[in-house]
Every structure is written in structure tokens, then in C-alpha cells.
Structure 1
Amino acid sequence: MNYLIVDLNITLDGHKLGFVQEMLHYLSQKQYADHQFHFLVNVDLEKEENSAVRVHAIDKSYQAKFDRHKGLKKYQEQWKYIHLKASQQSIDRVILMEFDLYQAAIGMDKNCHFGISGIWFRPYPRQQPIGLSLFGKLKFPLKRQQKKLLLRTALRNKRLDSIFILNDQATVDKLNARHGNRFAYLPDPVFEYNCPSLSNIRQQYGIDAARKILLVFGYIDDRKNIPNILKAVEKLSREEQSNLCLLMVGKVAPNYQELVSQAIDKHKSNAQLLQIDSFVENCEMEALFQQSDLVLRMNVNYFASSGIIGMAAKYNKPSLVSDYGIVAELTEKYALGKIADPLHIGQIKSALSDFLNHPEKWTVDGQNYFREHNTQAFVETLLFIGGSNLQKSPR
């Protein structure tokens, strides 16, 4: 089979690049008879020698054409280009690494000669109006209907036969019951990066050995809930504060920078606060998770899967996560940590206090999760190859 694996919107504000790069690396190391893998991307990828794997980077003229548009129009233009490249390379199946963007364009394309699969990062069934303003709550039903309409539009194209949802079998079952068997479970991958050595995080950032490192990692926008985390730290005793370092690592969204800066400036406690406003490379990320003591994922208004708990599980580090969405369910299913209401400062404070005073109660073994969400399971399920084509999540 001839595959076209597509991501034309890779940016360095998160680790979306890792999905494509690690998939390319994995396929370059393997031999799958009678399969060819073409990657269509907007960045340079590190390619290894393998005649079955090719990389096609879009040229500047097409990128300029895409950049002239925004929203649906931009993704319609990208879809036309994807269709063109699929025709040129005699592609049997297009794999969209972000299906969300192309739903309208797929639904309007009546001339597909290839199968279509994709990862749906933001499925609507679990979403609730939690943590929204009054105006946001009033708009929520309308936005939900728009998302339903967009999905129904995409499903008009019978070539779209596999929409993958990360880590969420319940949502897959619900949508299949409603729309037919066109949705599938996909393990959210925990990659193994080739890092000959890892930096010493305490030395690098000047963190005293007596302080526990509490890590907030990833693109920092309003969902990361930084003000409430800082307020919870302020409510800890002075002794507890002296025993922790809150390490926030990730590029801050432009519209969130002022709020984060103000929250940090107003913060008064004995805790050490460190904010690293930048994207970090894979091996730096590995060091951060390996050497942190507690991983915080107290996101608000976020219901889908997250690679954060997978990275924590890889190094047997406990997580404190929001008490709703698929991440809360996975945290409890695999015993990866504890949950708390992200809007309840007292609950966050109590959980942090419990961790600082009774760390033995927070010991986790994340290896079952790590094994079930490895690169092989992700790639072979997504491409319908090999022995890891999981149609349902592990029970």
C-alpha cells in the first residue's frame, strides 16, 4: 500500500512535531513488505536511509499561498494540495495527522480516489462548559452544534473510513453507535528518544536538592490554569513552600503572557518559581520528566488525551490532574496519581500538601501504561499494519 502521511501545520509551540518525526524514524528502522510511506510536511525532518520512506516538504510558493488565507479557506487550499500530491504519487491512503482541520474540505471533495484516515484531537462528545465565562457558556451549545455539523459534513465522503481518537474508547463506541463503524481507538504515544545523556536539571536551573520539583510542562495558555496553581502554592505552610520548586516549562501563548507575568509578580511565598518561556528539545524534555518529583496537569476546559501523563508514567512519576475528561479516567485506571478540581484552589492545595508531607502515598508504577502506549502500538494501529492494530483499548 502507498501511504501519504500529512502534517502541513507543524509549529514549535508544542511537541506535535514529535508525532511525525518519531513515526518517520520508526518506519525508517522497519521493513514492511509491499508498503511505501510518503511524508508531506511543512518542515525539514531528519530522515534515515530507507527506500520505502520518502519526505516531501512543501515549497515556498505553496506555503505563501496557504498563508494568504485563514480558517476554513486555508485548510481548503491545503486539502487541494494534499489531493494533488496524492494523485501524483498514486497514493492508496492519506493519513491526516490532524483531521480536525480538514473536515469541511473532505466533505466537499467528491473526487477522492484514495482512502482517508486521520487523528481527531478535539472530539466534542466529552466537552462541557466548565471554566467558561457567562458569555462562553451561552455560546457553548451553538459551538457544539457547529462541531456536530462539521463532522457530519466530513462523513458525507465515503472515502473517510477511519477517524482515530486518542485514548478514548468510550467516545469511539458512542460515535460508532451513531455514525457507523468509522471511528477507532488510537493509543496516545509515549516515544523513546535517543538521548545519549541527560542534563542535570537541578544544576541547570539552580534548584536546591531539598526542594521537590513540581513540573508544569507544555504550551502555556489559559487552559494551563497557572493563576490557580500559584494561589494554591500560596496557601501552603511556609515550611511546605520552602520544600518545593514550581518549574513551568513551555512557550507562553501571546494572549496569556500578561496574565502569567502578573500572577508570578503578585505571588508571595517561600516556594521557588521558575518559568522557562521556550520550546525545549526532546532530550531536555526527557530530563525534565525524569528528574521532576510531581507532574501537574491541572488544565481547565480540556477533555481530550494528553501526552503529559504518558511522559510521567514512563519515569514512574506521579501526576496531579484535573478531575474530568479522559486524562482523569486514565490516571485512575492505571493508578498514575491523583485528581483534583482545577477550579478549587483548596483541593489543589490539599493535594500538594499531601504530596509534600506523604510522598510515599504517591508512588506509582507507570510501566503498564508505557508499554500499552509505545511507538509500535501507535504507528501500526494508525497505519493498519503489523500486529498492533488495536480496535479497542486495553481492558
Structure 2
Amino acid sequence: MLSQCDLSVSTQSSSDRTLLLFDLSARGHHPVYFKHLVKDWSQQQRPGCLHLVVSPALVKNHPDLIAFSTESTLSRIRFSSITEAEYQTYLRARSLVAKSFIEWKLFCRYAKRLNPTQALLMYLDSLQLPLAFGERSPCPVSGIYFRPSFHYHQFSAHPLSAKEQWRQWRQKAVLARILRRSQFKTLFCLDRFAVPEIQQLTQKPILPLADPVEVPACQPAEVEALRRKLQILPDRHLFLLFGELSGRKGVYQVLQALKQLPIETQSQLCLVLAGSVNERDPEIRTEIEQLKQITQAQIVLCDRYIKGAEVQQFFELADTVLALYQKHVGMSSILVHAAAAHKPVLSTNYGLMGAMTQQNQLGQTVDSENPAAIAKALQAAIAQPIFCKLSKMNQVVDENRADQFVSALMSDFLSRCSHE
């Protein structure tokens, strides 16, 4: 017997089909993912409607995204913003668990109202508990899984603690319950190393998904202009630490490592920190200024948000790219930008970042929590460039193109529509 939602789907023509995209975040990769899908829907003139349910913050901070969707009168792209009252209730939740259930309730409310053919949760990670134990989705739903970590034991030679074993078991158990829900259809996973282990839990499709990274072309003259602007001293090995500057990026460990280097090595080194300092870590500025007074290393802080074509210019400028995250779960676009510039990475040895760096020969890994180990690696990189394999770097860039990301999501949606 068909449910009301199934009945409405089964009688829809291709022009009536609707794909609902749901995401309440307005920062980082979230608006970028929307941009790729909106652009594809408009350019390819997909049949049916693409409907985005977003937060008021995204509408405010990314008017260009809203405007782009209305440029073509032929494409059917719609936006619905949750109300400001709903958004404030979501933001002020007592705990992360409460916030998760509020977010799921909002999804169900708007899905019932809009009655889509299918829905895609753009960030499944924050909705795992309500997906597993909460209200049934009013429509068929799929999701993008960003940060599985239950397979990280494969990347480490150290035995797991009891706490880590429990965390991994719990994560896997919740995911298994989600996959048993009848309305859940396809899991897209940004960590391709996790796909085989997840697939053992279900007969439903578990598909690897590219993390779309735009790599704008830049000219040598632009890179040299940036070098002059930053006043990089000649004959310095330039280490780049890129992105929002916070403790989780390993900034403090890198600064501590610089102090441990011999003076001769310091005088051969330039550290460029390119990105705005996180508002929760203002002491980073103080640490940098204090270190400048006692080190022979050149330290350049670009305390601003860097975007567009300038992003890749920084990577082209670097000799070595630092990706020394602290216990980071998931991927980072830094690896792709470095690979596109054919610049070696000094990466954390933890999790997906470490596995990608090693298996794709993107550079060298190190214990990113250990300043002494970082200092040793910095010194070695100056003495002899870190080995990396250009063909593997090109492959990583190719695998993370935006069209690969869009193709996987659209193919699944269109395939499901054709089988209704």
C-alpha cells in the first residue's frame, strides 16, 4: 500500500519532480556545494524543480547565490528560508543533541509543506541521531556523510583505547540504524576509504563523493606580485599555513616548532599564515608578535579572509604547504590546492588526511601534536624538498572536480526518478 508521499511521487511527471536540498549552515563549504548544484541545474536545464531550504544567514551572507538562481527564467530553482524565529530556536538549543532534533523537525516540516520527490541532506553528520531514532522522513531522503571515523584504526599502528573503541562502535551502530530506515535511499560519503566498511552494513547504495574544490588558474606574474606584496625575503623556503587560523589548524604547534629550530635554519625559513584569525583564538596574534622578536625566521601574517583567484596564488607561492590539523576528522581542500600547484604537503599523520597524503604521495606526514617532530620535519624539508608524485597529485585534483561532485548527485536523483 502506497503512503500519501509515495502516491504523490508516483503520479508526478518529469516536469513536476522536485529535489529538495536542506542545509542550515551558511559557512565554509556549505554555500559552495549549493552553488555547484544550482549552477548545474540552471545550465543543464534539468527537468523539474530544485528547491533549497536554507537559513536566513545564508540568504543574508550569500545574495549572489540567490541572484544566480533567478538569472535564467527557464530553470526552475526555488529558495525557502526558515523563519528568523525558527532559526533562533535552532541556534539557541541547549545542547548539540537538542539542536540536531530541532534541525530534523524543521526538515520534516518543510518537506511536508513542499512535498518533494526526493530530498538530499547536504550535511548528514549533524542529523544522525534524529535520522536513526526520530520522526520518519515525510519523503525519500539521501544524505552526504562528511566525517566517518570508525575506520581510522586502519590508518594507525597504535591500538585503540577503550574510549575510542566505544566511540567507533557507537558511530557505526547509529549509521547502521539510519540505513535500515525505509525512507533513507542513498548515502554519499566524502571519505572514499570508509565506503567498503559502510557497504557491509546495507544493500543500499553507498557512493563515494568528490569534495568539490575550485582551482582557479593563476599567472606567474600574479604570484610574483603577491611575493612582492608580502615582502618575502630572498632565498627563504616558504612554508604556507592556509585557512582560518585556529588551534585546530596546528598554529600553536608550528610556532612552538620554530622556536626549537637552530638559528641557521630559522634564517632560511619564511612562514606565511594566510587567513583570518578565529575570533575564539585571538592570542594567536600575540604569539606571532612575540615570536617575531626572538626568531630569525620571517613570519608573515595575512589576517583576512582570502577568496577567489588569490587562493591558488598563495599555494603557487609556497615551497611546502602545512596541513598540521589537530585530530581532524575528514578531508581538507588544502590537499587539493597543494596538489594542483604541485607543492608537497607536510600533513598530520592522523585519519583521512594522513591516509590521503601517504597513499597519494602528496608529501610527508608527521605527528602534528608534537612540536619537536614538526621542527625536525621543517628542517629536513629545507635541506631536501619533500618527495611527491606529480601524476598522483594530478589524479587527486581530477577526482575532486566540481563536475564529479555534481554528476554523482544528479545521476542518483535522475536514476531514481526514471525507476518510479
Q: 2:182 aligns with which of 144, 158, 164?
A: 158
CA distance in 2, matches of 1:224, 1:73: 28
Shift of 1:376: 0.8
* Distance 1:149-1:261 versus aligned 2 partners, 3 A rule: farther
* Distance 1:387-1:9 versus aligned 2 partners, 3 A rule: closer
Pair 1:176 & 2:202 matched: no
Give the match for residue 7 of structure 1: 23
* Distance 1:363-1:333 versus aligned 2 partners, 3 A rule: closer
Secondary structure in structure 2 of the residue aligned to 1:162: strand
Pair 1:40 & 2:67 matched: no
* Distance 1:360-1:193 versus aligned 2 partners, 3 A rule: closer
Pair 1:292 & 2:297 matched: no
Secondary structure in structure 1 of the residue aligned to 2:201: helix
* Distance 1:145-1:329 versus aligned 2 partners, 3 A rule: closer
Displaced runs of 4 or more, over 6 A: 194-197
CA distance in 2, matches of 1:116, 1:269: 55
Give the match for residue 230 of structure 2: 205
Tell me the amino acid that sits aligned with residue 222 of structure 1.
G
Give the match for residue 141 of structure 2: 116
Shift of 1:188: 1.9
CA distance in 2, matches of 1:283, 1:247: 18
Q: Identity percentage over the alignment?
A: 24
CA distance in 2, matches of 1:236, 1:213: 15
Pair 1:369 & 2:396 matched: yes
Alignment of 1:16-55 (within 5 A): 16-32=30-46, 34-42=47-55, 43-44=58-59, 45=62, 46=65, 47-48=67-68, 49-50=71-72, 51-55=75-79
* Distance 1:257-1:162 versus aligned 2 partners, 3 A rule: farther
* Distance 1:194-1:60 versus aligned 2 partners, 3 A rule: farther
Gaps of 5+ in 2: 1-16, 156-160, 416-420
Shift of 1:296: 0.5
Shift of 1:151: 2.7
CA distance in 2, matches of 1:3, 1:386: 8
Shift of 1:277: 4.0
Give the match for residue 171 of structure 2: 147
Shift of 1:138: 7.0
Alpha carbons 1:215, 1:249 under 8 Å: kept: yes
Please give the per-residue CA displacement for 1:97-130, whole angstroms capped at 9, x wherever unaligned.
21011112223445434222222222131346x9
CA distance in 1, matches of 2:382, 2:326: 24
* Distance 1:20-1:192 versus aligned 2 partners, 3 A rule: farther
Shift of 1:375: 0.5
Alpha carbons 1:22, 1:191 under 8 Å: kept: no
Give the match for residue 238 of structure 1: 263
* Distance 1:371-1:21 versus aligned 2 partners, 3 A rule: same
Please give the per-residue CA displacement for 1:163-203, whole angstroms capped at 9, x wherever unaligned.
222142x3111122134445321122222459899674323
Give the match for residue 218 of structure 1: 243
Alpha carbons 1:230, 1:264 under 8 Å: kept: no
Tell me the amino acid that sits aligned with residue 88 of structure 2.
A
Tell me the amino acid that sits aligned with residue 10 of structure 1.
A
Task: Work out the number of aligned pairs and report it.
Answer: 379
Q: 1:189 aligns with which of 212, 216, 219?
A: 212
* Distance 1:109-1:361 versus aligned 2 partners, 3 A rule: closer
Please give the per-residue CA displacement for 1:135-169, whole angstroms capped at 9, x wherever unaligned.
xx67545544543454345334221222222142x
Give the match for residue 384 of structure 1: 411
Give the match for residue 318 of structure 1: 344
- Superposition RMSD on alpha carbons, in Å? 3.4
| TM-score normalised to structure 1 length | 0.82
Give the match for residue 104 of structure 2: 79
CA distance in 1, matches of 2:351, 2:217: 32
CA distance in 1, matches of 2:226, 2:274: 12
Shift of 1:295: 1.0
Max Rg structure: 2
Give the match for residue 265 of structure 1: 290
| TM-score normalised to structure 2 length | 0.78
Give the match for residue 368 of structure 2: 342
Give the match for residue 357 of structure 1: 383
